[in-house]
Amino acid sequence: MPRFLTAALYKFVDLPDCAQLQPRLLAVCEANRIKGTLLLANEGINGTIAGAPEDIHTVLGWLRSDPRMADLQHKEAWASEPPFLRMKVRLKAEIVTMHVPGLDPSRLAGTYVKPQDWNALISAPDVVVIDARNDYEVAIGSFHGALDPHTRSFSELPAWVQQQTAPGKALASTQGRKPRVAMFCTGGIRCEKSTAYLRSQGFDQVYHLQGGILKYLETVPQSESLWEGECFVFDERVSVGHGLQEGALELCRSCRRPIGAAEKSSDKYEAGISCPHCFDGLTEARKKGFAERQRQVELARQRHQQHIGARMPDKRGDGPAPL
């Protein structure tokens, strides 16, 4: 059975020529039969691509031939079926959207903490631990004792931080000193930007988990882990647990939220159409449209074909990469 290598990558780096880079990068990916999505912005690159191993490494080598991206890191995963249907290289204002003009994570990001040192840091009584992900991700798993900002999108995080600096709140100064802060996210990209934001607001002791939750789950034995639940990922696995074993959750094809046995037993759940998270907010027209899409998916499955509606488009949070 053919195996497809998936490479998730990001780097905050000054790319003022990103518009000129876009068609060249797309051409290299297409010439090597690569599928996926890459985002380019003045602040860097972010995305996930998949294909034959040798073709993936050809594209990565091409990117690293640019001196600005010579140290580009990536994470690998394997799939028995193609995870993506087409190749897109998009120009964006930001590779992860926060809407804070002038923020430069390449200069201001917090201090990396290796997975094996993370437990000691977040167990310290003077450290405020913050989950930098969105509400639907936090709902299925997080580190013990971490604060949940209850954000629906990453761009809401700065406002939450400002609220939490008020007297009596989690990030309030004590005796004129701001607290130590530890932040984490799926793979690292949101933490680079969120810790940079905190540092821009005068927090000078800010840390983030190197490699994100995924590296922690891959590295730290379950017997020593402070992680509870599963970790949402931005691909067809939906969630992973310790050792990066695929979780038991599925995805609502309407709202893209993870769902388990409880949601699927609800009378508001209908495969491919709705779940308890989105049922009340869907118009009849949208439900009808999702029902038709699901009918086409089922027909394609019966014919042993792949239907474009069966795959997940780019989603919230980290963008196309599971970061």
Our CA angle for 13, 100, 130, nearest 5°, is 90
Cα separation of 279 and 291, whole Å? 13
Angle separating helix axes 115-123 and 212-219, nearest 10 degrees: 100
Q: Which of 75, 54, 61 is nearest to 318 (CA)?
A: 75
DSSP conformation letters of 147-214: B----SSGGGHHHHHHHHTSTTSTT--BTTBPPEEEEE-SSSHHHHHHHHHHHHTT---EEEETTHHH
In this structure, the number of other CB atoms found within 10 A of the CB of residue 102 comes to 5
Pairwise CA distance, residues 306 & 23, whole Å: 28
Residue 81: helix, strand or coil by DSSP?
Answer: coil
Q: Of residues 18, 29, 185, 275, which has the active-site annotation?
A: 185
Q: Give 9-36 as a DSSP string.
A: EEEE---TTHHHHHHHHHHHHHHTT-EE
Is 252 among the residues known to form the active site?
A: no
Contact status, residue 96 vs residue 318, Cβ threshold 8 Å: yes
Show the CA angle centred on residue 214, arms to residues 212 and 216, nearest 5°.
75
Query: How many CA atoms does the CB half-sphere of 37 hold within 13 Å?
Result: 19
Q: What is the set of active-site residues? A: 185
